[in-house]
Structure 1
Amino acid sequence: MNTRLTGIALSALMAGAAAAGPAAAQDVEIGAVMPLTGDLADFGETSSKGVELAIKEINAAGGVLGEDLGLSIADTRTSPQAGVDAAKKLVNVENVAGLVGALSSGVTIPIAKSVSSQEGVPQISNASTSPVITNLEDNGYLFRTIPSDQLQGVVLGDIVYDEGVRSVAAVYVNNDYGEGLAEVFKSQFEKRGGKVTTMLPYEKGKASYRGELSNAASGDPDALLLVGYPENGITILRQALEEAYFDQFIMTDGMKTPKVVEAIGGQYLANTIGSTPTAFDTDGAEAFTKAYQDEYGSLPPKPFIDTAYDGTYLLALAMQAAGSTDGEKVRDALHDVSNPPGVKVGPGEWAKALEALKNGEEVNYEGAAGPHDFDENGDVPGIIEHWTFTEDGGVKTIRKVTGGGA
C-alpha cells in the first residue's frame, strides 16, 4: 500500500509504510485527518490502523476503479485550525477524493464548514458524535459512521440513574463534543428524576483543575461526569482523588482507553460508569476483529477503529459504484452503497462487491461496526456500550443498549 504522510512526524504505526519511501502518484487517493498528536493521539493512532487495514484489503482484492487506492494521512493535533490546515493540504495539494476523520467534533465541524463542503469532497468522521453535526450546513458532504450523542447521552442518563446515582456534577471539555453530550445527558438524567448540580466547561491544556473540581463538588453530588479526553482527563481524575472531591466517576467514549486506568490505578476506577458507541454483534464485527488481529495483533479495547475501517470501505465503495472520484457523484453514491436494497457486503468482501457492481447490481455495506444506513443528514443508527474499568487495569463491557428515553 502507498501511504503518504503529510506534515507530521511518523508514529510507530507508520514506520513500515515510511520505510518504503514516498508514495507514487495515485489516480485514486483518499486522505485521513487524524490526531496523531494532541489530546486524542491515543485514538488517532489506532483509528489510522483501521483506515490502513481497509485499504490493504481493498488493494489486495482489485483496488478502486482499476487502480490501487492511495492514502495520505495528516495530523490534526486535535486542534480546529490545525485540522482545517491539514484538510486543505490533503484536498488542494494531495488531491484526495475523500476524507476519513476527524475524531473530535470540534475539529470535524470546522473542516466540514471550511473544506469538505466548500471543495465538494465527501468527509466521513469515524468518531465525531456531537448532535450539532446532524443539522450542520455542509451541503451534504459530511457523514459519520458513529451515532450522534443524542443517543449516547440518553442511554448514559438512563444507565446512571438505573445504577442508583441521583445527583451528578458535570465537567466537560469546552467544545461541541463536550457541551453537546453533557447537555443531552443532563436532559435525560433529570427526566428520570436525577439532578445535575452543576455544568462546568473546562479548557484544555491546564496544569490544574482544582478550581473547577472544587466548584463541582459543591453540594456533595454522588458522582462526577467527565466528558473529555485522556490528556487532560487524567489530570482531572487524579486531582479529584487527591483532594477527595469525588470517588465515583462517570465517563464517555473519549475516556475509554487503558491509558486512563493505567495512569490512575484500577483500584480507584473500578466503579466507573462508562458509555461509548460500539459495534453491533454481527458476522462483520467478527470478520473485522480477526483481520485486525492477523495484521496487527490484539484489538485494543478502544472505540473508533472499526468505524474508521468502515468509513474507508464506504468511500471506496461509493467511488466504485459512481464510476468516478467526482465529489458530488461520490457523495450521492454513499447513500446508495450504505442502504438496502442491494447485495450485502461486509469486511473483507471487496471482491464480492466488485463482482456485484460489475454485474449491474446494487450493494449494501454492513460493516465492522454494523449497518451504516446513512439518512439525509449523513447520520447512522447505533448501539451504546455500558463499560467500566477493572481493578487489574482492564476495560470490561457490562452490556450493550440499543436505545434510551425512558
Structure 2
Amino acid sequence: MKIMTKTSVLALGLAAGLASLGGAAAAQECTTKIGAVLPTSVDWGKPIAATAQYAVDLVNEAGGVAGCQIEMVLRDTQVDPKVGVDAAKALVDLDGVQVLLGAVSSGVSMPILTSVTVPAGVMQMSCCSSSTAFTGLAQEGKTNGLWFRTFATSGVQAAVGAMVARDQGYKSVAILYKNDDWGQDIGKLIAADLEALGIEVTASVALNDGQASYRAEVTEALKGAPEALYMALYPKEGTAAVREWLSLGGTQNMIVANSLKSTEFRDNVGLQYLGSTIGTDTASPRSESATAFVEQYTARFDGPPNGPGLANSYDATMIALLAMEAAGKDATGAQIAAMVGKVTDPSGTPVTADAEGFAKAKEVLAGGGSVFFQGATGNVRFDANGDVSAPAVTWGFGEGGIEELQYISLDEVDGFIASLK
C-alpha cells in the first residue's frame, strides 16, 4: 500500500494541479482567488493542501465559479497561531479573498477566526479544526455565520477514545494534551468521558510547544502508575513525550487522537514501541459518494487517501466553491456563507463530488434550485453553529502505514455519547 505522505507524489500532485489551473485559466477572462492556510511544512499537512488543490482543479474543469477560474493561494501556517494569523491577514488584505480554507489546528483556526475573518467579513471553512470552543462562539453569535467545518467536534474523538479504554479493560489512564484550544478542549472531554465510565484519570498534563524537554510533565503523568496513556498531541511534541514516557518506564498501552496519525510519528518513535497503540479518528460513512472519492483520489494521486483530514479537506473546498457559485460573481464572504445551506440542502437536487457533479450544480443553481452535496464524507449537513457529525474509526500503526481496526457508525457514535450523559 502506498502512503500519501510521499514528497514526490505530493509535489507531482501540486505541480500538476497548478499546471491544470494555468491552462484552464487562460481559456477564461477572469480569475477569482480563494485563500488557504494549511500546515504544508509538516508531513501530514502537505496531502491536505494537495487535496484542496485537487478539488479546485476539478471545479475549474467544470468551468470554474460564476464564470471565473479559481486560483487557490496557499500559505503555510507551520501549526503556529502567529504565523497562521499573519498568513490569513496577507490573504485577506493583499489578495482580497472572500473565502479562507483552514486552518487545521483549532489553536490556529481560532485566532484567525476572531482576529481576521470575522472582522473582515470573510467566510472561513475548516477541514479539520474540532474544538467545541467554536460551537460556543457560534452560539454566542460571535462568528457572524461565517464559520463552518467539515470535521466533527472533539466530542466524537474523545468519546471514541473512552470507548477504546473501556474495551481494552483499562482501569486507569493518564492524559497528555497540547496546551492550545484544541488540546485543552479534547483533554477536558476525554477526562470527563473516562470518568463517566468509571475509569480513573490519574493525571491530566498540558505540554507547551518548543520545550527542550518534557521530562517534568511526563514524570507528573507517571505518578499514578496508569495502565494506559491518552495523547492529544502533534507529532513533534508527541514524539518527544513518548520517548520520555517509555524511557521512564511508562506502558506501551497508548490511545492517541488523529493528530498522531502520522508516518513521521511512527518512524521517529519506532514501530516496535507502538504495537499496542490504538488511534481514533472521525470517518467517512460507508456510502457510494465516499467510495467514489477514494477511487478518484487513488487514480489522481497513485495511492489511497490514508492521511488525516483528506476527505474533509476535499469536501470543505467543494462546498465553499459551490456556495461561491450560488452567491454569484463578486459576492462578499457573508453572501457566500449565506449560500452554504442552499448547496447542502437535503431537499435539493443530489450532486456528486466531482467535475460532472459541479457542472450539474451550476445548472440547478442557475435555474433557482438548491442542491444536496454528496461528498467524500457523505451527505454533508451543517447545524446552526457550522458543525457536522460523523462516524468514527479506530486505527493502528503497521508496516505498510495506517491500518483501520474498527468502523463505528454514526448511530453507534451518537448512542455511545448519549450513554455517557
| TM-score, scaled to structure 2 | 0.89
Q: Is the 8 A contact 2:100 2:122 kept in 1?
A: yes
Change (3 A) 1:21 1:144: closer
Which sits farther off after the overlay, 334-343 or 107-116? 334-343
1:53 partner letter: Y
- Deviation track 1:245-266 (CA, whole Å, cap 9, x = no partner) reads 2221110010012222222222
- Deviation track 1:330-387 (CA, whole Å, cap 9, x = no partner) reads 1110122123110111211211212222333210112111222111110011111111
Secondary structure at the residue paired with 1:77? coil
Partner Cα separation in structure 2 for residue 168 and residue 306 of structure 1: 31
Q: 2:345 aligned to 315, 339, 344, which one?
A: 339
Partner Cα separation in structure 2 for residue 339 and residue 259 of structure 1: 39
Question: Counterpart of 1:35?
Answer: 39
- Give yes or no for the alignment of 1:354 onto 2:362: yes
Secondary structure at the residue paired with 1:42? coil
Secondary structure at the residue paired with 1:397? strand
Q: Shift of the alpha carbon at 1:300?
A: 4.3
Which sits farther off after the overlay, 343-352 or 311-320? 343-352
Partner Cα separation in structure 1 for residue 351 and residue 20 of structure 2: 32
Which aligned pairs between 1:7-406 and structure 2 lie closer than 5 A?
14-16=14-16, 26-37=30-41, 41-136=42-137, 137-324=142-329, 325-348=331-354, 349-390=357-398, 392=399, 394-401=401-408, 402=410, 403=413, 404-405=416-417, 406=419
Partner Cα separation in structure 2 for residue 295 and residue 229 of structure 1: 28
Partner Cα separation in structure 2 for residue 172 and residue 56 of structure 1: 37
1:344 partner letter: P
Partner Cα separation in structure 1 for residue 212 and residue 12 of structure 2: 28
Partner Cα separation in structure 2 for residue 329 and residue 375 of structure 1: 18
Partner Cα separation in structure 2 for residue 174 and residue 240 of structure 1: 18
Secondary structure at the residue paired with 2:116? helix
Which sits farther off after the overlay, 254-263 or 12-21? 12-21
Q: Is the 8 A contact 2:305 2:311 kept in 1?
A: no
Secondary structure at the residue paired with 2:359? helix
Change (3 A) 1:11 1:206: farther
2:36 partner letter: A
1:89 partner letter: A
- Deviation track 1:6-36 (CA, whole Å, cap 9, x = no partner) reads xxxx977645567899999954221110112
Partner Cα separation in structure 2 for residue 337 and residue 212 of structure 1: 47
Percent pairwise identity: 34
Secondary structure at the residue paired with 1:71? strand
Q: Is the 8 A contact 1:266 1:393 kept in 2?
A: no
Partner Cα separation in structure 2 for residue 236 and residue 215 of structure 1: 12
Question: Counterpart of 2:4?
Answer: none
State the aligned residue count: 393
Secondary structure at the residue paired with 1:128? coil
Secondary structure at the residue paired with 1:213? helix
Q: Is the 8 A contact 1:371 1:381 kept in 2?
A: no
Which sits farther off after the overlay, 377-386 or 26-35? 26-35
Q: Is the 8 A contact 2:145 2:334 kept in 1?
A: no
Question: Counterpart of 2:7?
Answer: none
Partner Cα separation in structure 1 for residue 377 and residue 93 of structure 2: 31
Which sits farther off after the overlay, 336-345 or 97-106? 336-345
Secondary structure at the residue paired with 1:279? coil
Q: Is the 8 A contact 1:277 1:384 kept in 2?
A: yes
Q: Is the 8 A contact 1:144 1:379 kept in 2?
A: yes
Partner Cα separation in structure 1 for residue 365 and residue 14 of structure 2: 32
Question: Counterpart of 1:6?
Answer: none
Q: Is the 8 A contact 1:288 1:347 kept in 2?
A: yes
What residue ranges of structure 1 are gaps of 5+ in the alignment? Answer: 1-9
Q: Is the 8 A contact 2:21 2:60 kept in 1?
A: no
Change (3 A) 1:85 1:12: farther
Secondary structure at the residue paired with 1:235? helix
What residue ranges of structure 2 are gaps of 5+ in the alignment? Answer: 1-9
Q: CA RMSD in A?
A: 2.1
